[in-house]
Structure 1
């Protein structure tokens, strides 16, 4: 580790990519042979939400399908705030990016005639999801790209470090402060860089029930926000409706493709409940299905995914990853309904970026879930996340290739930061519990106000940088959710249940604005806080 630290401090690379998920790996490969440093908190291939993706990649590659139809589906579920030009551009770039992935060795499923096999998922008007062995796309893609990265001599890989602070000078990126992952007492390392790509993933692990790995704690969003970056749409958090309730953290996921193959949602009485809530029933947009599942659990009836008739004995072969998770929990999905609950799954918000992946800070790009491109609006269409990640990773690489980036300058003086130390486990547990209880599937004014005040206080008082960054991201989500007094897409307010046409616009905010919201709420009385309902 000392050799790694020594090499880091002497780095003169002009491009640093932070994140070992799909966006980070793909961007590094696309930049080759330009030298880059890729910083990954976990060993390559681990700790990335994209490796856990079961659904696949949406792409209009089948006969009769078109990018225009794909974009139309994306816009239809996005709650009226999708950037239509961005959605269409991503859909049109899908086929070339699938071709790139095939070139890197991703073994996408094919039909008997050798064509790419495509499946259907919720709110898609056509079968356009490209899979690997049914539910293994994410793992297969990350494995193939990780191997390609390790074979590429222009990519210097630094594993086991997290980025905890983005360093800037005169409004431009100057470098990063890194620390050994899992060792809060380790000496921080400061790395000079004039071009930084953040591909650090989402924030699902800020919630007590999530499908995301522990690394998805919103750190990339936090360090960009603390450096002054504009943050877009942070209130829009997508909850996957079918996390398997097996007592595990994170919760295993039962892919939406199961419902695409005919699995149904039932309550403890054996009754299908989605047929009364939406014409598409189980294939309705995720926010509607998540609220339907949440309502059954809240009413005490429970919620279950039933694939007994649709798949039965074929379950293990068609969906091996889900089958393994069920068996490990003592559930045989061929003969038993699977207990489920909504879980924090994907963040539509993030660092605001333009069509090239550029943020509001000179020299900072962002791609993948940590960014917000405008493609998802208030509610992401199934299997568009991996597509967006590869499209923007390629765009960022092209943009950087055309930029004249100055050599790293002298690093700015160190910033005042909390003392080094292990994250307070009790504080982390309180934060995650409050996010699930107050900033979850169903929200209201009083609970959001309490969350804003609590996260603002924790951000001020945190004694570790890791906890402070978690609180920073949580504050941004809660403050924007409190400010948006309507229901739109994945953001549902029980006290403002209607969608308001005048508010059909994206949120653009900053950490300073979120702190102002917290300050405005400091004199309001604390409401009575009930315990969270976590299945």
Structure 2
């Protein structure tokens, strides 16, 4: 059976009203996390006018939820080569060595630039940066802020810098719809819906000489995720509809330790940073046994895919819905000082980590794949760039190394700004692609059913049978259509990225990184490469395999 069989048809564009208003800028940045705001600030350094559009409020993305920190070589005894080696081991043979080299060599400078913007990282008594270790790292190279509130501090510093610049226009409560393209195929803007703007339904257009996607991830395709509710794969779906290449979508990282609370209805699970394990906390089963010891040389600090699989095996054998993180031996004073966010959230839910075991389980956390880019952040569509979790730069391979995500956003945002400044064309007028099929949108009522189907059949553990069942369920859900509005556009984006993920996961007949096939339990050399997906002009999903060089 073809891996594309039973999958739903997808829209080549979203059904929406014609734009009732428009405006023009030099560069349009879609997203306001670390990648988007960093790109905007560097573009301003080049003298360009920048418009940043964001889905809800400027601080509502994933960046502020990052607890652990930023991985960078800031210790004189550490080396970029060591950081690269750890990154490539975690990526299980699919990292692009050139992209990894860019990340680890340019990363320290980008972190120092962030500090000059005002980001305050934790320091030792002598004033040196306080460094810790996380899963997959063989050295202490994680800088952090506020103990376990690094993302919030990074977001604060970037937010304040953007607010200080009058030539960065911020448009909040804006959901991007589709890419606008010029007669030569170059990206020249987007359509979007902004609450309260323009015509009654708020649909408008922003024209730009270049477009940067920094829309974050797609964790909301699963029932259990650490991602906020806005993480609905909007950037990947928009790029697909425009004809861009996406890749490695099957590699969704499940964070091993999300906090299992009594409120199972929550759309976002609290994260328990692996920095807690880096400081000495242990994973134990219900009998108190440290089950990761003996499974990997780094035990609880193995790469995330290894730890998530270890936990899942325990859950399958015991029938439980969680294991435990034991941090009691670290002491109350240390926990409150080093991990104030975690302590506050667990105590608010009735669990005191100083005296009790913390119930944890894997939850969807990070998309290692996304819109394919080169080392300058360029996608396969001229004028369209991607940065951060929405992009696939080649850095993460089959599994992201802990705390490389914020670093990737910092490094490639700068590279994008430099590339745009070197060769920015004049503004072009958008054209309508007459051969594109009529747009449609899915019924937002499918969202919870889609999440349950993806969690059940395309989550931590996958098989041919589970993925086929999921494909059929997605096709059934796609038959339910609605009139255009925000929830329907989001549901359509979720359906789009879920469909591509299932296609890729069915095709990749091996287990590698965070893609775990129960029926093909080992990695195979023949699958050392990337699955590339596009939507053609007739809205047909196409798939090709590209071997590693």
Give TM-score, length-normalised by structure 1: 0.91
The structure-2 alpha-carbon separation of the partners of 1:515 and 1:456, relative to structure 1 and needing over 3 Å to count, comes to farther
**What displacement does 1:458 show?**
3.8
The structure-2 alpha-carbon separation of the partners of 1:258 and 1:311, relative to structure 1 and needing over 3 Å to count, comes to farther
Query: Paired residue for 1:115, among 116, 128, 142?
Result: 128
Mapped contact 2:209–2:424 kept (Cα < 8 A): no
2:546 aligns with none
* Aligned partner of residue 495 in structure 1, secondary structure: coil
**What displacement does 1:324 show?**
1.2
Mapped contact 2:103–2:411 kept (Cα < 8 A): yes
Partners of 1:442 and 1:351 in 2: how far apart? Answer: 24
**What displacement does 1:36 show?**
0.7
Partners of 1:379 and 1:182 in 2: how far apart? Answer: 41
The structure-2 alpha-carbon separation of the partners of 1:344 and 1:171, relative to structure 1 and needing over 3 Å to count, comes to same
Count residues in correspondence.
Answer: 509
Mapped contact 2:454–2:470 kept (Cα < 8 A): yes
Which piece of structure 1 moves more, 453-462 or 95-104? 453-462
Partners of 2:186 and 2:291 in 1: how far apart? Answer: 52
Mapped contact 1:173–1:363 kept (Cα < 8 A): yes
1:166 aligns with 179
Mapped contact 1:475–1:514 kept (Cα < 8 A): no
2:93 aligns with 80
2:351 aligns with 331
Mapped contact 2:325–2:360 kept (Cα < 8 A): yes
**What displacement does 1:460 show?**
5.9
Map of 1:196-211 to 2, 5 A cutoff?
A: 196-211=211-226
Q: For each residue in 1:64-96, what CA deviation from the matched residue of structure 2 results, as whole angstroms up to 9, or x when unmatched?
A: 101111011101111111111110111000111
1:157 aligns with 170
The structure-2 alpha-carbon separation of the partners of 1:262 and 1:182, relative to structure 1 and needing over 3 Å to count, comes to farther
The structure-2 alpha-carbon separation of the partners of 1:122 and 1:287, relative to structure 1 and needing over 3 Å to count, comes to same
Q: For each residue in 1:212-233, what CA deviation from the matched residue of structure 2 results, as whole angstroms up to 9, or x when unmatched?
A: 0011110110010011000010
Which piece of structure 1 moves more, 108-117 or 135-144? 108-117
Query: Paired residue for 1:287, among 300, 305, 309?
Result: 305
Query: Paired residue for 1:103, among 116, 125, 128?
Result: 116
Gaps of 5+ in 2: 1-18, 483-487, 544-549
Partners of 1:304 and 1:79 in 2: how far apart? Answer: 27
Map of 1:134-533 to 2, 5 A cutoff?
A: 134-169=147-182, 170-180=184-194, 186-246=201-261, 247=263, 248-298=266-316, 299-301=318-320, 302-412=322-432, 416-418=438-440, 424-459=443-478, 461-463=480-482, 464-512=488-536, 515=540
Gaps of 5+ in 1: 1-6, 519-535
Which piece of structure 1 moves more, 390-399 or 304-313? 304-313
**What displacement does 1:284 show?**
0.8
Q: For each residue in 1:226-251, what CA deviation from the matched residue of structure 2 results, as whole angstroms up to 9, or x when unmatched?
A: 11000010000000000001123200
2:25 aligns with 13
> What CA RMSD, in Å, does the superposition of the two structures yield over aligned residues?
2.3
Partners of 1:514 and 1:279 in 2: how far apart? Answer: 47
Mapped contact 1:174–1:408 kept (Cα < 8 A): yes
Is 1:39 the counterpart of 2:53 in the alignment? Answer: yes
**What displacement does 1:178 show?**
0.5
* Aligned partner of residue 293 in structure 2, secondary structure: helix
* Aligned partner of residue 275 in structure 1, secondary structure: coil
**What displacement does 1:453 show?**
3.2
Mapped contact 1:456–1:471 kept (Cα < 8 A): no
**What displacement does 1:425 show?**
4.7
Which piece of structure 1 moves more, 352-361 or 423-432? 423-432
Give TM-score, length-normalised by structure 2: 0.89
**What displacement does 1:335 show?**
0.4
Mapped contact 2:84–2:101 kept (Cα < 8 A): yes
Mapped contact 1:459–1:472 kept (Cα < 8 A): no
Is 1:52 the counterpart of 2:72 in the alignment? Answer: no
